[in-house]
Structure 1
Amino acid sequence: MSYKWPLGMDIKMKSYPVLCIFLPLMFFSCGDGSRPEQTASKAETEWELVPFKQLDQWVEGKELRRNVMISDSKKSSGARFYRKNGPSIGVNFRNRLNNENIKNYLFSGAGLSVGDYDNNGLPDLFMVSQDGPNKLFRQKSPWQFEDVTEEAGIVDTESWGSGAAFADINDDGQLDLYVCNKGNPDEIYMNQGKGTFSGGFVGGSKDPYRAPTMVAFADYDRDGDLDFYRTSTRLISIKEMFKGKVLTKKDNSGIVRAHPSQADQFEMIDGLPRELGTHDRLFRNDGVGKGGMPKLVDVTRDSGINIAREHGLSAVWWDYNDDGWPDLYVSNDFHTPDHLYRNNGDSTFEEVTKDALAYTSWYSMGSDFADINNDGRFDYLSSDMSATTHFKQKTMMGAMTDTAWFLDNLEPRQYMRNVMHVNTGTGKFIDVAFHAGIDSTDWTWAAIFGDLDNDGLEDIFFTNGIERNVQDADQSIRMRQAGANGATVEELRKIFLDSPRLKEKNLAFRNRGNFKFEKPGDDWGLNEETVSHGAVLSDLDRDGDLDVVVNNMNDPVGIYMNLGNNSQKGASSHSHRSMLVYLKGIESNYFGLGARLTLKMPNGQLMNRIMTSSRGYMSGAEPVIHFGWPSSWGDPEELIINWPSGHLQKVQNIVPDWHYRITESGTGTTGSPDEASNPKARLFSQIDEALGINFIHSENFYNDFTSQPLLPNRLSRFGPALAIGDVDSDGDKDVFIGAARDRQSALFIQNKKGQFGRTPCPALKADQIYEDVDALWFDSDNDGDQDLYVVSGGASQAAGHEHYQDRLYLNDGSGQLSRAPKSILPDLNLSGSRVAAHDFDNDGDLDLFVGSRFVPGNYPTGPESVLLINEAGRFSKIQCSASSSGMVTDVKWSDIDGDKRADLILATEWGPVRVYQNKEDGFHEITESLGLDDFTGWWNCVVAGDVDQDGDNDIIAGNFGTNTKYSVSKEKPATIFAADFGGNGTLQLVEAQYKEGKLLPVRGRSCSTTAMPHLVDRVPTYSSFASKTIREIYTPQAIKESKRLEVNTLSTMLFRNDGKGKFIAEPLPLLSQMAPVMDIVLTDVNRDGRKDIALAQNFNAAQRETGRMNAGLGVILIAKDNGQLDEIWPDDSGFFSRADPRRLIATDLDGDGTLELLLGQNGGDLQIFRSKHNLGFDKNP
């Protein structure tokens, strides 16, 4: 059963004539539950109440009126949020940290919690302090608070406070309070009603090393009461603990480890001591014990939770896999990894981080979840400390050698930036932070989702700043030098205290849809510059929009009233609607924590929420759900509630702009939203092991950066080669998989049962010295069988080395291969990329074009690609304009101009997709006339075909996508300069980007000066490097004389052929842009006669500053009648893989009439996906 009452309704007060203020919540019995109802306490002023309406008596609510309580008339700024003066509304508080207590581990600040502890209908604030007493502020009427700390029974324990949360721990309908303390036991306050608490301690005696940071409540075992997880870091550094004497010891194998007496405090990694944190804890609630205190049982070890000593800063409960059981994400600081724990439903958890996430934040701080695209799946956000300006980025970036071990070895990888993991429904997430524009938000602590503008999409609020800039690279060097010169502890402390206070703007981001967020800046008024930590979003005045409260360090608390549509820049008062939902559990916990709410709208939008108590950073949320939406969406059709008990409840006839108190129905359909018992029919299913093709591509180790330290990406990792052909002429298809240098390639022969077996091939075994990057089965000598051409590539040898020679293996007709004599192929000692065959001279045999990617040691010098003419089985190089096309990454033949001759299409790196028209007199480049020269990219692959069925061939080209650290446009292209900048005969590289109106270096000072030592005198400090442009660092003359290449688009593109000699560029749909596309196939996926598109995504070979670009899972695009492409999400397509792919082939591999997709990945196994459709084709490649 439910009750509703209007938001922001007119209420008469004795002390005012008539003001628009907001109704206190007074809850009466509205169900058959067995729990006693809690009576609301009256405010100091008397209220004239409008009666609640029962579900079957709902009537039109009063129109929502927004806040007018701005007594000082400062509304003129027009901002959406107005900063309230704390003391004037009764909230006189600042989180103080005195200089004598300044330590790294106290810079993490403190949080707060919001909740209606006295049940008067208005949320109250509990503020946590570090060097002062915590404070409880009761909201007695809208925007009027009073300090009730002492009278409520909150004790000053003289602890360094950190996190806090209101939660109904004993399930009596009243919010209790949990407070985390550093060094001292945590405090737990049980609500006694009438506005008072009785307190106790959690965690035993004092411990000077432990530092709990955040508590997150959830009914993880779904037994009707609230359990909790508590994160913890450390309070005292190992140098303080051991007075600078960090002890190590060599073990029997000679490895240096922490001495046994200190082994629980640090570990040695790459020769350096790395501090360990302290243990997190999971507590199970076993009901009420003596004195009304909960019986809490530490079940951490038995539950499967990691018991390592880590640096936990935040934790969030959420149901990521939609099975009805609360899962847990833990954000850890420093080198300790984050954890995603899947709830098994039997009081145990399984860590699934490596399988679910491509990577995580490095210094993970705050965290939150939301359904950012209203698709019914909950997405996840964690914050880090990545700077928003070039200067701060480069001064915070120290020597990469200090962290090389970390960046190169952890799984999953950790990167110093925010990540926003979008839930694909497959158990795997894709990070879209770069595309969203929220990857870097400065030194960020809290990250909180909430619909701040009531537009139906969840926005983000970040808090920023730190009391001392401990990441300043120059300051770190000064500290290190002073220590090496014998500075005393007091002298080092003075240097430390002299570090500047890093005040930074808090940032809000408006959700614009399609994974895009934008800064509203001054329009919202939330960008105050200070040092902020914990924050909450709550409708403090109960007017239907979210207000913001921030706990600042050494500054007054920030309280921001949401003016909503009353702001001068807002829309009309009718443009948006909202509602607040309160739950009362019967079989579930009282406030319904863990319940999933879905608001179904007439336009098909589904807004989804989960009731939670903790989110962001060190802070507690109130158990109230807020929904907002544009009026144009209409009135909600129904509210669907999945209760923790398993009950499913639906509420219809919803009137906007009302509060709803909904009591759990005992008669609803029970069950779980889990689809595991009824798996959906996907387009593809993975069948790797079923066919017997067991091959794992293994890379040999080679350091690409030895000869050219500033390469953007590794150039030695473009295998495996993959080719399909009938080797033994028995009518079925066999598979060749090429290997890395010093590894053996594999030939798999298919038997009559559709199974494959690896067949020994002495010729291939003898050629392990080559790096196979591409392969092609074709009849080179017109003898009726399939021969094998293998392209040699890589970067491990000097340019022109004989190990770059391509190879041709001749088939004897029975499947036995032998290396063709040297006279068959010319010398092709080029680092190749791709090969494609076509009889371009119409003489009845197949000729070849072999693309070349780069000149080893001389990137980005354009290499020579070759056109090989077949003359009776012998191949000769002929002159061709396409030979000097730059760095060629892919080759295709296709009739582009409709003259029945196949033209040559080349994908290039740092260039356009090039087209060479095939004419009687040779090949003529027509790239410019087709309009393709306007789009320079890092094109990885290309394919041509009639996508829109208009009778001509279109071009699809795979690029790096819009979800990388690079942001480019025609006006601001990514740029690379190549020259002998140091005058030592070595070709050096400088990457540059346009930022802040200047052309600035991409790489940092450490990498740049290591590669070019002559720069040290020009930029002696990190700040001097960070403040200079490219021309100031390298001199205008050096830049002018260098080779310069530019890229102005990174979007993966469909170039539509207009049939009139021009191509129209059209970026492929959203998921296609989330990671580099390494290969593409055109094939009819759903048997409707149209050519669909499959994309292989991800690239893990970037230099370590960039990190892996592996947010993608692969994409299927379905062609429609109107020529448009429908994007199929991985959960529906079944084609998903976290692979690092290089080749994708579509074929009916085993001859059963169904399509298979073969995915060859670098450093991994061959993956095979089978379609559910019987296509009935037999002519696939």
Structure 2
Amino acid sequence: MSIRTFCLLILIVSVVSCKEQAPKSLLEYVPAETSGVSFSNTLTEDEQFNIVDYLYFYNGGGVAVGDINNDGLEDIYFTANQAENKLYLNRGNFEFQDITESAGVSSPGAWKTGVTMADVNADGYLDIYVCRVGKYKGISGQNQLFINNGDLTFTESAASFGLDFKGFSTQAAFFDFDNDQDLDVYLLNHSVHTKRSYGRSTLRLDEDSLAGDLLLRNDGGMFVDVTKSAGIYTSQIGYGLGIGLSDFNFDGYTDIYISNDFHENDYLYLNNQDGTFTESIGSMITHSSRSSMGNDIGDINNDGLPEIITLDMLPEDEKVLKNSAGEESYEIYKLKQTFGYEKQFARNMLQLNNGDGTFSEVGLMTGVAATDWSWAPLFADLDLDGYKDLFISNGIVKRPNDLDYIMFLSANDFKVGNDEISDSALIAQMPDGKVENYLFRNQGGISFENVSASWAKLEKTVSTSSVYADLDNDGDLDLVVNNINDRAQILKNNQQGNNYLKVRLKGSSGNPNGVGTKVRLYAEGNLQYQELFPDRGFQSSTTKELVFGVGKSAKVDSLRVIWPGGGTQVLTAVEVNQTILLDMAQAKGLFEYEEEGQPPVLKEVTEQSQLAFRHFENPFVDFNAQYLIPHVISRDGPAIAVADVNGDGLEDAYICGASGNNGMLYLQNADGTFRKHSAETFRSNPAPEETAALFFDADNDGDQDLYLASGGNEFQPPNPRLNDRLFYNDGAGNFSLQQGALEENFQHGSVVIASDIDHDGDQDLFVGGRVVAGKYGQTPESRILFNIGPGRFRNETAGVAPELEHIGMVTDAVWADLDEDGYEDLIIVGEWMPITVFMNRNGKLEKADIPDLDKTNGWWNTITLTDLNGDGRPDFVLGNLGTNSKLQPSVDQPVRMYVNDFDKNLSLDQIITYSIGDKEYPLANRDELVKQMPLIKKLFILNMDFSGKSIDQIFQPEALSASKRYEAYTFKSIALMNLGGIRFEQKELPAVAQRAPVYAIASLDVNNDGNQDLILGGNMEWATPYFGAYDASQGALLLGNGQGEFSVPKASEAGLKIRGDIRSLAVIQSAKGSKYILVGRNDDVALVFSY
């Protein structure tokens, strides 16, 4: 053999070897030819029964896993809507045997939906409960219970157990709701559209025997209907598609979460421990998915608290997004709330558990909000790193929400109503909806990375139900997916390198699998928490084992097991990479659910303080005049100003009023309570919108006068209600309006702050301009007002700060001496603005070019002066929109706004855009643009002509280049650390500060450690339905470490639990020695906290 030939052989062997050792993806399909699982849920539509006749025709079947013969291997059962169901016996090594016929579980006929495996008769063998649809469109049949005979055969016995429900059934969940050590069942059902389905929310009180949910209590093996007495809704407006179980409030009793499609709220039933439930969605969750599909519950950030995810239909693909019906109009959205429905938006919702009985919705900031037409979410630690990842199945056979299809229906309404168009012709107008499923890797808390492409080679399918289970007993979780018109799929998990612990449970005699058991795992100081509730996702039932990934940990420090009923046990120093069996009989003692914690840092004392103020917002809706603006401008109050106005040594407060409602001055009493000052002092008829307030000594007489800025987006110049007002103080707290002290001005003021700009011994003013009323995007006028004495002010902007006059849409500003020259400099923030600094050069303000502040453009709401590291230099904390938004700008891909009169109708149009790759797309869809600019309808007849078009394919380049262009590079709220020498370092605030817009910041030392802490307030309900309500914050307390970094105490430890739109925070020294924090909320009562 020649050397050349030998080398060639070596090369070939090396290449082959490399190919053989090429890393596999985390998940890979097991071919049906290998597994033996050839099941397919094949649908056949005809003119008599199809998606037009039955709105849930494309919802698919279910899947359940469980060890039916107790051989240690998980078996699989699929339901088919029209064909026969299939049961596959696991023979090991991903090989399965179809035993459906011999087992007697095919369930022929009827329309099958969800399936559950549970030991219903508590004999140690898993039974199979199949949900079916009956009494509709010629479909007959009732739910079926296949009792396991212990010999791989089953006997249908639903009637014998009282489980032979006939109606519109979706899924059943077996659990012990009354802690009597047997399994009860919640039967989730769904409605179909009728005239009775629409109306006020009180319709949920009307019972419906076919569509209403049922709660059935296990009384000695017979299931008894206790729905009504238990407080469960059982009406025709319940469109139940998902059920989740968890002990949300950690009191030892199982609570219930129900996903409802369409207009009805989701339900969150808190268990009252007496056989009844209280529906609590409105008090615990601020908004939910509009078309809630499946749901899942799990602790995603390892804090021991369960989170909730619900799925909807928001597409990620730009073309599909613009061609799909999305959010409702603003008018319908608000109308539904007047009908008694909670806020709902068309996207996936991830509800983060705050631990105080409330949830914050963070789906957008975690990256899981848009996964198209989605069905089953599953939290499971697929890579065994200790954090739960997320699998989402999705797809639909045909898209009935396609906008062009809806347009076709509308155009042919008469023909459709008179059956002149066949159902098949209608269905042909719907586009196909096959898409890839989604896989998200948990990045260690509340951030997920889309790893669909890297973790698996996913195919386009219509995947509805799915489950996880360790099918090959190798310690990691595999996936099983039920598809429509395609074979079911098994995805084998190839995880290597991380360790696991698998827990099997032996419960009570009436609950052999220990359903409802809680397990806390501790490894290397990290906590994991799981509850055993197999029925989850969508129409499915997962494994009856708990699988914990522990990463590289070689040992589990301890396991705390809490059994249903409260029995508990602790295991220590548990070896990893094994399966352990825990027996309820070995539990010692009862777990103490009532744990006494430390008193909260902040305590609400509103009632004790006697400060009784309610802000009443006038009903003006900005969107009625400006269709394309992202949120309202006219709801930024109330502002609060604090000073000792009557010279008694106690601080007082003025709280601003909205248009038509005057503000109020509150004087502090010697006992720390407050009393109203004479309301007549500040009364104006009609009352203007008070947008900013400042106490300062205007006339140099030693007392605190009051400047009130005016504004509002409804008043057009020269409306006198836009004029600011100045009130002189007589030193005893009596104020009088000073006519002529201010020049006439018709701007919307957003902030007023005082400084002796020219060092002449009196206070001058900066007044920031927010917007030009009715012309969002046109730059308003900001002003420098020099005090020309006594207490009279003149606009000197053009002379002392010409670049400032039209600097942008200002929201807030502070004075601080940045260069230590004795003159205070001006720092300004605003919407679409960078952080902007004007240096004071001997009484003149010059805009500074500061590289550290380059490309800081955001939607800034507020800025607060502080010293976070105690170095004597002024630091700043800035509140932005936050990252919990559909818009996620960056320096490389900014959010933009083009402002121009594109259609030449003498009104401004605002075109907001975002980027995907190198393409820039309009935020608004075709219909929204048509509403503002009707000419768009002529340019794009169909939605499919418009969808997927970039901004330069919709508007002429000349029009875009002639537009005023705004950019935003960041929406993160930050701390801005002063490094000296006009240098700054930006530090992103913790995730809790990014959940919602921050409008108010208080800097203070709440724990007396010498470091400045922060209290943040925000939210913004009045955004367009496309954005949804920004309401994930309930106030946040950040504890500073003296280095510009912060820790976040638990919500229950902080003591903040504030709903609504917080617009101001003010710190007041109490007469009793403590300090008050005044909280101003838009269109709501003010609150007072103490520390």
Give the TM-score taking structure 1 as reference length: 0.86
Taking structure 1 as reference, are residues 779 and 587 closer, same or farther at Cα in structure 2, changes over 3 Å only? farther
Counterpart of 2:189 in structure 1: which amino acid?
S
Whole-Å Cα distance in 2 between the matches of residues 157 and 698 of structure 1? 61
State the Cα deviation string for residues 511-530 of structure 1 (Å, max 9, x = none): 11242111223322262210
Check if 1:862 corresponds to 2:779. Answer: yes
Tell me which amino acid in the other structure corresponds to 1:753.
Answer: D
Over 3 Å counting, the alpha-carbon distance change for 1:89 and 1:514 in structure 2 is closer
Of stretches 1021-1030 and 1002-1011 in structure 1, the one that deviates more from structure 2 is: 1021-1030
Residue 642 (1) aligns with residue 562 (2) = yes
Aligned counterpart, 1:508: 439
Q: How does 1:690-729 map to 2 (within 5 A)?
A: 690-729=608-647
Secondary structure of residue in 1 paired with 2:556: coil
- CA gap 1:197/1:857 in 2 versus in 1, 3 angstroms: same
- Aligned partners of 2:201, 2:508: CA distance in 1, in Å? 51
Match of 1:828 among 745, 748, 751: 745
Matched, 1:552 2:483: yes
Please state if 1:994 is matched with 2:922.
no
SS in 2 for 1:396: coil
**Aligned equivalent of 1:527:** 458
Displacement after TM superposition at 1:683 (Å): 1.2
Q: Contact between 1:744 and 1:768, CA under 8 Å: does it hold in 2?
A: no
Alignment-derived partner of residue 348 in structure 1: 276
Q: 1:863-890, CA deviations, whole angstroms, 9 ceiling, x for partnerless residues?
A: 1111222222112221242333211100
- Give me the whole-angstrom Cα distance separating, in 2, the residues matched to 1:607 and 1:269: 39
Could you report, residue by residue, the CA deviation over 1:463-521 in whole angstroms, capped at 9, with x for unpaired residues? 11111111100011112212234675362412322123310101111111242111223
Map of 1:683 onto structure 2: 601
Match of 2:4 in 1: none
The residue number in structure 1 matching 2:1028 is 1107
- Residue 738 (1) aligns with residue 660 (2): no
1:114 aligns with 2:62: no
Q: Give CA-to-partner distance per residue, 1:377-398, whole Å, 9 cap, x none.
A: 1111111111011111110036
Is 2:511 aligned against 1:589?
Answer: yes
- 2:344 pairs, out of 414, 420, 429, with 414
Residue pair 1:761, 1:817 contacting (<8 A) in 2 also:
no
- Quick one: distance in 2 between partners of 1:172 and 1:758? 71
Other-structure match for 2:101: 150
Give 2:591's aligned residue.
Answer: 671
Is residue 842 of structure 2 the alignment partner of residue 920 of structure 1?
Answer: yes
Determine the C-alpha separation between the residues in 2 that align with 1:527 and 1:700.
52
Check whether the contact 1:940–1:958 (CA below 8 A) recurs between aligned residues: yes
- 5 Å-filtered alignment, 1:962-1111, equals 962-1111=883-1032
Contact 2:300 2:445 in 1 (8 A): no
Question: 1-side partners of 2:1059 and 2:406: how far apart?
Answer: 38
Question: Structure 1 residue 1122: deviation in Å?
Answer: 4.2
**Contact persistence 2:823–2:842 (CA under 8 A):** no
**1: CA distance, partners of 2:473 / 2:1079:** 54
**Quick one: structure 1 residues 193 and 911, their matched pair in 2 at CA, closer, same or farther if it must change by over 3 Å?**
same
Partner Cα distance (2:86, 2:509) in 1: 34
Please say if residues 554 and 576 of structure 2, whose CA atoms lie closer than 8 Å, have aligned partners that are also in contact: no
Distance 1:356 1:458 in 2: 23
| CA–CA separation in structure 1 for the residues paired with 2:836 and 2:392 | 44
Alpha-carbon distance in 2 for matches of 1:1125, 1:561: 42
Specify the code of the residue in structure 2 equivalent to 1:301.
Answer: K
Q: Which residue in 2 is equivalent to 1:50?
A: none
Equivalent residue for 1:429?
Answer: 359
Distance 2:653 2:942 in 1: 55
String of CA shifts for 1:1000-1029, please: whole Å, max 9, x gaps. 000111110011001111111111111311
Whether 2:1053 is the aligned partner of 1:1132: answer yes
Are residue 897 (structure 1) and residue 814 (structure 2) matched? Answer: no
Residue in structure 1 matching 2:768, options 847, 851, 862: 851
Contact 1:266/1:275 (8 A) holds in 2 = no
The corresponding residue for 1:280 is 213
Paired letter, 1:681: P
C-alpha contact (below 8 Å) 1:930/1:1063 kept by paired residues:
no
**Where in structure 2 are the equivalents of 1:251-330 lying within 5 Å?**
263=196, 265-267=197-199, 278-288=211-221, 295-309=222-236, 310-330=238-258
2: CA distance, partners of 1:1112 / 1:399: 23
Deviation at 1:964, TM superposition (A): 0.6
Q: For residues 194 and 363 of structure 1, what CA distance do their matches in structure 2 show?
A: 42
Question: Does residue 908 of structure 2 align to residue 951 of structure 1?
Answer: no
Secondary structure of the corresponding residue to residue 518 of structure 1: strand
* SS, match of residue 106 in structure 1: coil
Alignment correspondent of 1:660: 580
- Name stretches of at least 5 consecutive residues in structure 1 with no aligned partner: 1-72, 239-257, 289-294, 566-574, 1172-1181
Taking the aligned partners of 2:420 and 2:149, their CA distance within structure 1 comes to 48
How much has 1:205 moved relative to structure 2? Answer: 11
Q: CA offsets per residue over residues 734-765 of structure 1, 9 Å max, x none? A: 22221111123222233232222333321323
| 1:580 paired residue among 502, 518, 521 | 502
Q: TM-score, normalised by structure 2?
A: 0.93
In the alignment, the residues of structure 2 paired with residue 554 and residue 121 of structure 1 have an alpha-carbon distance, to the nearest angstrom, of 31
Displacement of 1:700 in angstroms is 0.8
Tell me whether 581-590 or 166-175 shows the greater mean CA deviation.
581-590
Match of 1:97 in 2: 43
CA contact (8 A) 2:769 2:781 kept: yes
> What is the CA distance between 1:157 and its match in structure 2?
4.2
Does the 8 Å contact 1:545/1:562 carry over to 2? yes
How many Å separate the matches in 2 of 1:161 and 1:494? 23
Letter in 2 for 1:432: V
Paired with 2:370 and 2:587, the residues of 1 have a C-alpha distance of 48
CA shift, 1:191, in A, is 2.2
8 A Cα contact 1:335 1:406, kept in partner: no
Does the 8 Å CA contact 2:829/2:836 hold for their aligned counterparts? Answer: yes
Specify the alignment match of 1:34 in structure 2. none
- Amino acid in structure 2 at the alignment position of 1:961: G
The answer to whether the 8 A contact 2:645-2:651 is kept is yes
Deviation at 1:173, TM superposition (A): 2.2
Check conservation: 2:840, 2:846, Cα contact below 8 A.
Answer: yes
SS in structure 2 of the partner of residue 1017 of structure 1 = helix
AA of the residue aligned to 2:380: G
Stretches of structure 2 that go unaligned for 5 or more consecutive residues are 1-18, 135-140
- What CA distance in whole angstroms lies between the structure 1 residues aligned with 2:1076 and 2:510? 47
Deviation at residue 626 of structure 1 after TM alignment: 0.3
- In 1: Cα distance, 2:417 partner to 2:441 partner: 49
Q: 1:79-478 to 2 correspondence within 5 Å?
A: 79-100=25-46, 101-103=49-51, 104-154=55-105, 156-183=107-134, 184-201=141-158, 210-234=167-191, 237-238=193-194, 263=196, 265-267=197-199, 278-288=211-221, 295-309=222-236, 310-397=238-325, 400-401=328-329, 403-405=332-334, 409=338, 411-478=341-408
Give the aligned residue type for 2:263. Answer: H
**Counterparts of 2:877 and 2:226, CA distance in 1:** 54
Aligned residues: 1048
Bigger drift between 402-411 and 518-527 goes to 402-411
2:1084 alignment partner, SS class:
coil
The answer to whether the 8 A contact 2:409-2:416 is kept is: no
Of the structure 1 ranges 398-407 and 728-737, higher mean CA displacement relative to structure 2 is found in 398-407
- 1:829 corresponds to which letter in structure 2? F
Q: List per-residue Cα deviations over 1:31-69 (Å, max 9, x = no partner).
A: xxxxxxxxxxxxxxxxxxxxxxxxxxxxxxxxxxxxxxx
User: Structure 1's 526 and 356: CA in aligned 2 closer, same or farther, altered over 3 A?
Assistant: farther
1:1114 to 1:405, Cα distance in 2 relative to 1, 3 A: closer
C-alpha distance after superposition, 1:567-621 (max 9, x if no partner): xxxxxxxx3101211111237832111111011002x111111011211001012
| Equivalent residues of 2:877, 2:976 under 8 A apart | yes
2:660 maps to a residue whose letter is D
Aligned counterparts of 2:902 and 2:201: Cα–Cα separation in 1: 35
